[in-house]
Amino acid sequence: MRLVVPSLAVDLDRHLYERKRRAAKASSAKKRGGGGAISDRPLKEYKFRAGIADHDLRRKTNGMLEYLGRGHAVRVTLTARQRSLKDDADAISTTLDRVRELVGDKAVEARGMKANDRNSYGSLLLHPSKK
């Protein structure tokens, strides 16, 4: 039978508790975007439909620029209905060009646009510029 000194057992329990608390605090700070690499920061998705009105587009991009200004990454998702693609086959790329024009040099494209086979869906990842 082994006897454990009570003060050492309490110290060990306290040490384990504090280590668990520090890990939880670091994890929550990481989720909130409290620093770290861009990939660790929160990602917000903005969805646009092809052929969106100018005012609606400006309003959404202003919110997007505010989020980029805080140093967070943004995913832009563009969708189009088949009937809008009949009118304009390049509706997705046209809307994407309008978004790029409004964003300007405040964001950098992390990668090019990914689109599906029918060009009815496209996704673009933007990171804040270093300026």
Strand order in the sheet with 73-79: 43-49, 73-79, 121-128, 107-115
Whether residue 55 is found in the same domain as residue 103? yes
- The pLDDT of residue 5: 62
- The pLDDT of residue 11: 80
Whether residue 25 is found in the same domain as residue 76? no
CATH number at residue 115: 3.30.110.10
Whether residue 18 is found in the same domain as residue 57? no
- Element (DSSP H or E) covering residue 14: helix 6-32
Domain that holds residue 6: 1-32
One digit per residue, pLDDT tens: the chain, 131 residues? 666 666 666 688 888 899 999 998 888 777 665 544 555 567 899 998 888 899 999 999 999 999 989 888 999 888 887 766 667 767 778 888 898 899 988 888 887 777 666 667 788 888 888 76
Q: What is the DSSP string of 29-43?
A: HHHHT-SS-GGGS-E
Whether residue 58 is found in the same domain as residue 78? yes
pTM metric for this prediction: 0.61
Integer Cα distance of 46 and 125 in angstroms: 10
- The pLDDT of residue 109: 84
